[in-house]
Amino acid sequence: MRQSIVALGQLADDRSLFGLVVARGVSSVGDWLYLAALPILVYRATGNVALVGLIAAGRLLPWLLLSVPAGIVVDRYGPQRVVVITEWVRAGLMLLMGALTAIDAPLAITLLAATAAAAASTFAMPAFGRLVPEIAQDGDQLGRANVVGSGLDSVACIIGPGVAALLILSGGLELAFLLNGLSFLCVVAVLRTIPLRRIDVAADTTTSADSGPLSVPSWSRLARAILRPLAIDAAVSFSAGLLMVLPVLVIASAGAGEGLAGGLSLAAGIGGVVGAGAAGSFVNTRPGRGMTVGLVAAVAGLVVLGSGAQAAGVALGILSLAAAVVVLDTLNLTQIQRTVDDRLLGRGFGVINTSAAVWVILGSLVPTLLVEVLGLQMVVLGSGLLVGILGVLGLFRMPTLPWAPSLRSGSEAEA
């Protein structure tokens, strides 16, 4: 945690990057508000638990279908333009959903707006992934920005559901959507003040003053660049999907009360904050070692969970796994931004987000299907083995490359 606070102080020297990261943190609180409120809205309208789960899984479909096209759009038109458009669209849709909820509109119309918002967010993700390194002055500042962003997102996943619970109890469910919409407008307001220091490179018209026209690097080169990060992201995404269902699986297997599920969810949120602080210790010095530590922590957390530990041990295991997910995700994101050619960075995030959607679905769905057959301990230990294998594949001979400028010369781009 201390490292995140230090990074926040250092980041404050750059008002543009600091403003963007903080605005995204505010937006994350709104997102968690929304994610907590939408299932309640569906359940109130239908009383069908299965439908709630189906709709929750369905929100990942835009990731599967649109992530790669979204990455191409970001590379072609520039991340700042894409982020401004998507945040305006998402803000309008959230305000619409709030109004629809207030007037008790048919659920189908509200879900249509939610689907459109999920599609817009698919374009926002690769855009943000490319925008941050364009604003950062150097690789160290990029690392600090990602650490602070991870820390704020982890805090948001604690605050957001808590605020949502208060709104739900007070009968103000529509305010969750309205507040989320306002959080998107906060991002737009900050973006309007940010002058980019680096050049947005159009995918088909890239030029260099020194070397003339530059061809866009091939997809095969992108595949080579993101092969290992894809394996790390698979381990992260599977673990994240598992964390979504673990509290429910634990109380179902142990016959415990629902209060334990809330406590375990809180442990996951605290673990995320711890993980952001730990990532700050490695991001600008030893990212490879930090990923190794994160992988060990993830597997260790799953081993503890699979050992039949009591409530305190289960909470510790979930905390360890959540911290490891944030460490691995933050360091992996930073390495991608530092090493992948910026002309393909949007596409790279598109491919990674598509893969992530698959692994999140597997992490949340497969354990729930197998737990009745194999038991919770075997399912968790098997998950630990899978996460360990994916992590080792990603870390094998992981390169540590220097900061790569956005606009390369032809020889530099092919080096």
**What separation in angstroms does the CA of 384 have from each of 97, 150, 273?**
39, 23, 22
Task: Find the distance separating the first CA and the last CA of the chain, reported in whole Å.
Answer: 38
How far does CA 103 lie from the centroid of its chain?
Answer: 32
Phi/psi of residue 100, nearest 5 degrees: -65, -40
Which H or E element spans position 350? helix 345-374
Tokens describing residue 364: 């949340």
CA geometry: angle at 18 spanning 17 and 21, to 5°? 85
Structural Rg of the chain based on CA atoms: 21
pLDDT in tens, the chain (415 residues): 555 555 555 666 667 788 888 888 888 888 888 877 887 788 778 776 567 667 777 777 888 888 999 999 998 888 888 989 999 999 999 999 989 988 888 988 988 998 899 899 999 888 888 888 888 888 888 888 889 888 888 888 778 777 777 777 777 778 888 888 888 888 888 888 876 554 443 334 444 444 344 455 677 778 888 888 999 999 999 999 888 878 777 776 766 555 566 677 778 888 888 999 899 889 888 888 999 999 999 999 999 888 876 777 888 888 999 999 999 999 999 999 888 888 888 888 999 999 998 999 888 888 888 877 888 889 889 999 999 999 999 987 654 444 444 433 333 333 3
pLDDT (0 to 100) of residue 93: 92
User: Among candidates 213, 192, 193, 194, which has minimal Cα distance to 203?
Assistant: 213
Is 207 in a helix, a strand, or coil? strand
pLDDT of residue 400: 46
Measuring CA to CA, how many Å separate 122 from each of 86, 115, 354?
9, 11, 10
Whole-angstrom distance, CA of residue 392 vs CA of residue 415: 26
Tokens of 298: 């993830």
pLDDT in the model for residue 243: 86
For tokens 């159009």, the residue is 202
Phi-psi region of 375 (alpha: psi -120 to 50; beta: other; left: phi over 0): left
Tokens standing for residue 270: 């605290």
CB neighbour list of residue 407: distance below 8 Å, 6 or more residues apart: 198, 199, 201, 206, 208, 342
Residues 6 or more apart in contact with residue 96 via CB below 8 angstroms: 113
Query: Which residues, at least 6 apart from 139, have a Cβ–Cβ distance to it below 8 Å?
Result: 284, 338, 402, 403
Please give the structure tokens belonging to residue 182. 């306002």
Chain-centre distance for alpha carbon 116: 19
pTM above 0.85, yes or no: no
Tokens representing 402? 């220097």
Q: What 8-state DSSP symbol labels residue 104?
A: T
Q: What pLDDT shows up at residue 11? A: 63
Residue-range domains of the chain with CATH: 14-196 (1.20.1250.20), 219-407 (1.20.1250.20)
